[in-house]
């Protein structure tokens, strides 16, 4: 099976996750406004194609840290939460301005563990997403770092984006990262490592390839968190792609011609319940 057999152009609801390392300059940790503008334009074009689009965006802590003049990522929880409080507001202000330039409305949703494990909160969140989609808006999702330490343990929003994709019944989850996809070995250390274009089933061999390391100081997610996201997405009936966010124009290539990345085939299990998975794996 190759990537073209998935007919990505027929997808109706997609969730796109972009990490801190894809949004910031590696040298300074500052936001890359050119890339942000290109990302917003790509998402608006997907909306124009008739797709429901949701963005899961990292970067609040990184933006807050940069605003406060911190040179390195903070280590203690309280400082991270303070950076998130400052950075989240500033990041959303930037997104709102950029989306408005393309006549597109964006809304913010901040989630915590309780959002998913509490039945009433989970249904309320689902209803909010559905109404935002019905109104033609683009929800922008992040963890609520300012009041909860739970999400900061997940790793660069990979798992959160899969949870969102499961919650809203997405057709496709796209993880834009700083790597081209899933390799047979760590390509940073082994030049002979080969890209795996399609994963038809998550098995022990695939999980063995998980690498917990990351090459960035602004992000926290490694391949292990991306494979956890793949497990959640595929068991929920959602196809998932890992691709390099260095050039966000890869988004329209996914739906128009070809792209470099790894596509995980949906393998829906009716017995899979996202709230149970969270309780069993996170506690």
Question: What is the side-by-side strand order in the sheet with 261-264?
Answer: 106-111, 138-143, 52-57, 13-18, 172-177, 239-244, 261-264, 198-199
Kindly report which listed range (24-38, 111-125, 200-214, 237-251) carries the lowest average pLDDT score.
Answer: 200-214
DSSP 26: T
What pLDDT is attached to residue 190? 83
CA gap 211, 190 in Å, rounded? 13
Q: What is the pLDDT of residue 146?
A: 63
Q: Considering the chain, what percentage of its residues have pLDDT values greater than 70?
A: 89
Q: Binning pLDDT at 50, 70 and 90, where does residue 264 land? A: very high
pLDDT in the model for residue 237: 96
Q: Per-residue b/e over 134-151, b at no fewer than 16 CB within 10 Å?
A: eeebbbbbbbbbbebebb
* Domain annotation covers residue 92: yes
Amino acid 41: pLDDT: 97
CATH, residue 155: 3.40.1160.10
45 within a domain of the structure (yes/no): yes
Q: 27-41, 116-130, 213-227 — which is least confidently predicted?
A: 213-227
* Tens-place pLDDT, residues 234-250: 999 999 999 999 999 99
Token pair 């039945």 in the structure block, residue: 119
**pLDDT for 155:** 45
Q: Is the pLDDT of residue 255 over 60?
A: yes
Structure tokens of 27? 């040298």
The pLDDT score that the predictor gives to residue 114 is 81
pTM above 0.85, yes or no: yes
Crossing angle for the helix pair 223-235 and 158-168, nearest 10 degrees? Answer: 10
Q: Between residues 107 and 257, which one has the greater pLDDT?
A: 107
Determine the pLDDT at residue 24. Answer: 83
- Predicted pLDDT of residue 216: 46
For residue 200, what is the DSSP state? Answer: S
The pLDDT of residue 149: 55
Q: Is residue 55 part of a domain?
A: yes
- Dihedral (CA of 144, 149, 150, 151) sign: positive
* Higher local confidence (pLDDT), 138 or 228: 138
Rounded to whole angstroms, how far apart are CA atoms 116 and 122?
5
pLDDT higher for 118 or 28? 118
Mean pLDDT of the chain: 86
2 domain residue, yes or no: no
pLDDT at 45: 96
Q: How far is CA 78 from CA 81, 156, 214, in A?
A: 5, 18, 23
Percent of the chain with pLDDT over 90: 50
Name the more confident of 95 and 145.
95
Q: Please report which confidence band the pLDDT of residue 223 belongs to, taking 50, 70 and 90 as the band edges.
A: confident
Residue with more model confidence, 263 or 184: 263
Whether 1 maps to a domain, the answer reads: no
Q: pLDDT per residue over 197-221, tens digit each?
A: 999 988 888 877 765 344 444 444 4
Q: What is the rounded end-to-end Cα distance, in angstroms, of the chain?
A: 37
Q: What is the mean pLDDT of residues 162-180?
A: 94
> Per the structure, how many domains does the chain have?
1
How do 106-111 and 239-244 pair as beta strands? Answer: unpaired
pLDDT of amino acid 148: 59
4-22 per-position pLDDT tens digit: 667 888 899 999 999 877 8
Give the range of the structural domain holding residue 19, as residue numbers without chain letter.
10-281
Specify burial of residue 155 (Cβ count, 10 A radius: 0-12, 13-18, 19+). buried
């Amino acid at each position: 099976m190759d990537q073209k057999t998935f007919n990505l152009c027929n997808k109706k609801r997609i969730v796109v996750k972009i990490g801190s390392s894809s949004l910031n300059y590696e040298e300074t940790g500052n936001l890359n406004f050119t890339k942000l503008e290109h990302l917003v334009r790509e998402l608006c074009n997907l909306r124009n194609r008739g797709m429901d689009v949701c963005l899961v965006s990292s970067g609040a802590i990184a933006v807050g840290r940069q605003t406060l003049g911190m040179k390195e990522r903070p280590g203690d929880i309280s400082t991270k939460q303070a950076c998130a409080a400052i950075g989240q507001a500033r990041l959303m202000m930037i997104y709102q301005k950029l989306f408005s330039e393309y006549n597109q409305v964006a809304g913010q949703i901040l989630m915590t563990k309780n959002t998913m494990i509490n039945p009433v909160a989970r249904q309320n969140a689902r209803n909010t997403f559905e109404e935002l989609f019905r109104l033609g808006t683009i929800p922008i999702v992040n963890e609520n770092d300012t009041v909860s330490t739970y999400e900061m343990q997940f790793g660069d929003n990979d798992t959160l984006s899969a949870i969102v994709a499961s919650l809203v019944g997405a057709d496709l989850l796209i993880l834009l990262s700083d790597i081209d996809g899933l390799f047979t070995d760590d390509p940073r250390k082994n030049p002979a490592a080969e890209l795996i274009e399609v994963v038809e089933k998550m098995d022990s061999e695939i999980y063995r390839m998980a690498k917990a390391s990351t090459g960035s100081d602004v992000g926290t997610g490694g391949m292990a968190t991306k494979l956890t996201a793949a497990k959640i997405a595929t068991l929920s009936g959602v196809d998932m792609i890992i691709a390099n966010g260095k050039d966000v124009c890869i988004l329209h290539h996914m739906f128009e011609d070809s792209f470099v990345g790894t596509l995980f085939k949906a393998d829906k299990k009716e017995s899979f319940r996202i709230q149970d998975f969270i309780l069993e794996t996170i506690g």
